[in-house]
A and B are shown apart, each in its own frame.
Chain A
Amino acid sequence: QKEVEQNSGPLSVPEGAIASLNCTYSDRGSQSFFWYRQYSGKSPELIMSIYSNGDKEDGRFTAQLNKASQYVSLLIRDSQPSDSATYLCALSNYGGATNKLIFGTGTLLAVQP
């Protein structure tokens, strides 16, 4: 089982709709969770971080964390064509020896005008 699993997509949504991106993880010791956005040929950019169970909202983005079920999700409201990108889920467990972020393979989001 992969440490971080994401559906590769593409996830296609119409402009103005809500895009829902999901991520599951295997290590129950994971402490911090992140969503990065990566445009084609560009470097990843942090858009959300979440550390405790529940929802965290920032503008059109909402991150949701459920540690009991080991999943984290990202909702994008009022999706825009400029949101079309690959979204990477990442987590960390800095209590471990490797002190690293573990990334999922990403979900490709396509917002149709």
Chain B
Amino acid sequence: EAQVTQNPRYLITVTGKKLTVTCSQNMNHEYMSWYRQDPGLGLRQIYYSMNVEVTDKGDVPEGYKVSRKEKRNFPLILESPSPNQTSLYFCASRLQGTNEKLFFGSGTQLSVL
């Protein structure tokens, strides 16, 4: 089944404790992206990647890191999480074409205490 897999689904952590949210897709998509969703602010792009070893900042990259060492994986790293990073996170992927459908993972609800 074609899908984007995110883990974990729920995560509670404390300020400053490094964490990684994994994202993997099995559709051979070139483009992958991370979004965060907050009430009243909608979906905002954190980082995106056009292909292996090619990443770039989105609208809200501060406090996040990403890497794209393999085409299928695009982990999101929070080196020192803070409470303002409490949010619902989505990974997404698509083919490289301009009108291609964006496939979303099931989301990660992160709480930073």
Contact residues of A with B, CB < 8 Å? 8, 31-32, 34, 41-46, 49, 51, 88, 92, 94, 98-101, 103-106
Contacts and interface: CB of A to CB of B under 8 A. Distances in A.
Contacts of A99: 31, 48, 50
* The 4 A-B residue pairs with the shortest CB-CB distance in the complex, in nearest-first order: A105-B42, A43-B104, A103-B43, A94-B98
Interface in B35-93: 35, 40-45, 48, 50, 56, 58, 90
B42 A88 contact: yes
Given A45-B104, A88-B43, A100 B58 contact: yes
A32 B99 contact: yes
Main secondary structure of the interface of A (DSSP, over half): loop
A100 B48 contact: yes
A52 to B, nearest CB: 11
Interface in B93-113: 98-99, 101-102, 104-107
B25 interface: no
Nearest to B88: A41
Contacts of A51: 99
Given A42-B107, A88-B42, 12 more contacts: A34-B102, A43-B107, A44-B104, A46-B101, A94-B98, A98-B56, A99-B31, A99-B48, A99-B50, A103-B43, A104-B42, A105-B42
A99 B32 CA distance: 11
A39 to B, nearest CB: 11
B42 A106 contact: yes
A41 B88 CA distance: 9
Given A42-B107, A43-B107, A44-B90, A101 B102 contact: yes
B24 interface: no
